[in-house]
Structures are given as C-alpha cells and as structure tokens.
Amino acid sequence: MEREKGKIKCPRCEYRGAVHRVSTGIWHCRKCDAKFTGGAYYIITQRGLESSRISKRKQRELEVIEE
C-alpha cells in the first residue's frame, strides 16, 4: 500500500484537499460534509483494505446464493 503524500482525497466525493482529521481515526470532508473512520494518521489502513475485500467477497457470495 502506498502512503499518500500531500492532499487527501475524500472517499465519498473524491475531492482533494477538503479532508481533515477531527480526532484519532475520525475524518471529515468540508466539501460534502461526510464523516468517516480510518487510521490515526492515514485514511486507508491495511486492516481496512482487508475488511473491504472480505465484505465484497461475502456480498458476491450472497448474490450467487440468491440467484
């Protein structure tokens, strides 16, 4: 995983430069007013990426079962 340098991109509106850290692990976008969680110093963490992959895989499995 590559560490971001410079302005952080909002995961919701994808605007660069409007995201700032409210407190440890809590981030806020000034443009779209979204609040989200992440790491203490970086928005994306290795553990968060792993959780996203697992949840996407489980969702695909549920879709296959429903069909």
Q: How many domains does the chain divide into?
A: 1
CATH code of 34's domain:
2.20.25.30
- In this structure, is residue 44 part of a structural domain? yes
pTM: 0.67
C-alpha triplet 22, 32, 18: angle, nearest 5°: 55
Residue 10 lies in a domain: no
Q: Does residue 8 form part of some domain?
A: no
Per-residue pLDDT tens for 7-37?
A: 888 888 989 889 999 999 999 999 999 999 8
In angstroms, rounded to a whole number, what is the distance separating the alpha carbons of residues 65 and 53? 19
Residue 23 counted as domain residue: yes
Domain boundaries, position 24 = 19-66
